[in-house]
Amino acid sequence: LKGVAEALSKKGNHIITSSIEHPAIGNTCKYLQRRGFEITYVPVDKYAIVDPDHVAAAITDRTILISIMHANNVVGSIQPIAEIGKIARERGIIFHTDAVQSFGTLETDVGELNVDLMSMSSHKLHGPKGVGALYIRKGTKLTPQMQGGEHERRRRAGTENVPGIVGFAKAVEIAMAEREEKVEKLEELRKYLVAGVLERIEEVSYNGHPEKRLPGNANFSFKYIEGESVVLQLDMVGIAVSSGSACASASLEPSHVLLAMGLTAEDAHGSLRVTMGRSNTKEEVDYFLEVLPEVVGKLRRMSPLYAQAR
């Protein structure tokens, strides 16, 4: 984002993004705003999905960049990237998508998505941490963000991390070979988990789009309790979940994604994100469904809000 903004600053200073982006995008936009760029945050609907018409309406003659994530990291909602990309292409505006959550799971054909820039990360594919990739459409102008040598076509100085890059490439190879099988398995597990939670626990809501979402993502809000308390209780019995994105799970602030969807601060505080990967099993989901109602029941019995509601 900074590379495009700096390269095109003489053309314009307006950037469009969404209200549910990962901090990697959101905080970069805040930085650029402090540097004099104008940022428009388009809203989302109750499922955390961006309306392409809202993006089109936000475009001005000073717009130089649009950045919308492919799939949301908190509630898993998949965005209409191809339609937004078509709008950007027709208006001659650079379009970036953060595909860290989706790459290796969803179809990410850069031609079909109409993107100029696409970010990817190795660790989301069980590859080495600290390694990423950026697709750059030919002709897209970027100012290097690391000064030094002429590595990587003068776009990123510094000696390349060859073992990490090779590891990432192998992770991509495996992910693409297993993608269809993995997606089918994760969708089946997710539907089983969601049905089990909604059947076993009262006063719980399922956040995000029921179908247009990442196959291994489920997000719930439980009335009268804090999601962070659920996280801690489950951690004690060997279950790792989060109350927001994994990057911000230690934060006690309600998720900006859930607030942008229209949830109250109370419901956002009561959220729990459950994600599953290629190694998870039905037996593990059964264990989760056995333990979760006990944890929620225990915490509600301790909650003054629950007592008042009764």
The token pair at 48 is 């955390």
| SS3 readout for 63-111 | EEEEECCCECCCCCEECCHHHHHHHHHHHCCEEEEECCCCECCECCCHH
Predicted confidence at residue 250, as pLDDT, reads: 54
The mean pLDDT value of the chain amounts to 94
User: What is each CA distance from 237 to 72, 221, 240, 241, 287, in whole angstroms?
Assistant: 28, 21, 9, 11, 10
In sequence order, what are the residues at sequence separation of 6 or more whose Cβ sits closer than 8 angstroms to the Cβ of residue 139?
none
Domain ranges of the chain: 2-169, 179-309
Q: How confident is the model at residue 136 (pLDDT cuts 50, 70, 90)?
A: very high
**Residues of the chain with pLDDT > 70: what percent?**
96
Higher pLDDT, 78 or 161: 78
| Cut 0.75: pTM above it | yes
- Please give the single-letter amino acid code of residue 241: V
Is 247 an annotated catalytic residue?
yes
Per-residue pLDDT for 149 more than 60? yes
DSSP 3-state of 192: helix
At residue 244, the pLDDT reads: 66
**Two tokens at 291?**
């333990």
- As a whole-number percent, the residues of the chain with pLDDT over 90 amount to 87
CATH tag for 179-309 (out of 2.40.160.20, 3.40.47.10, 3.30.70.890, 3.90.1150.10): 3.90.1150.10
Q: What is the pLDDT of residues 2-38, one digit of tens each?
A: 999 999 999 999 999 999 999 999 999 999 999 999 9
Give the pLDDT of residue 130: 94
Q: CA angle, corner 182, sides to 179 and 184, nearest 5?
A: 110
pLDDT class of 152 with cuts at 50, 70, 90: confident
Handedness of CA 135, 141, 146, 148 (dihedral sign): positive
Per-residue pLDDT reduced to its tens digit, 228-285: 999 999 999 999 999 964 555 555 789 999 999 999 999 999 999 999 999 999 999 9
Strand-pairing partners, residue 44, are 50
| Alpha-carbon span 11 to 69, nearest angstrom | 24
Specify the pLDDT at position 247: 54
Lowest-confidence pick of 99-108, 202-211, 246-255: 246-255
pLDDT at 310: 76
C-alpha angle 119/7/36, rounded to 5°? Answer: 95
pLDDT tens, residue by residue, 155-169 = 776 788 999 999 999
Does pLDDT of 222 surpass 70? yes
Distance of alpha carbon 212 from alpha carbon 126, whole angstroms? 23
CA pair distance 31, 21, nearest whole angstrom: 14
Phi and psi dihedrals of 206, rounded to 5?
-105, 115
Looking at CATH, the fold of the domain delimited by 2-169 is given as Aspartate Aminotransferase; domain 2 (3.40.640)
Q: Choosing from 166, 240, 247, 302, which is the catalytic residue?
A: 247
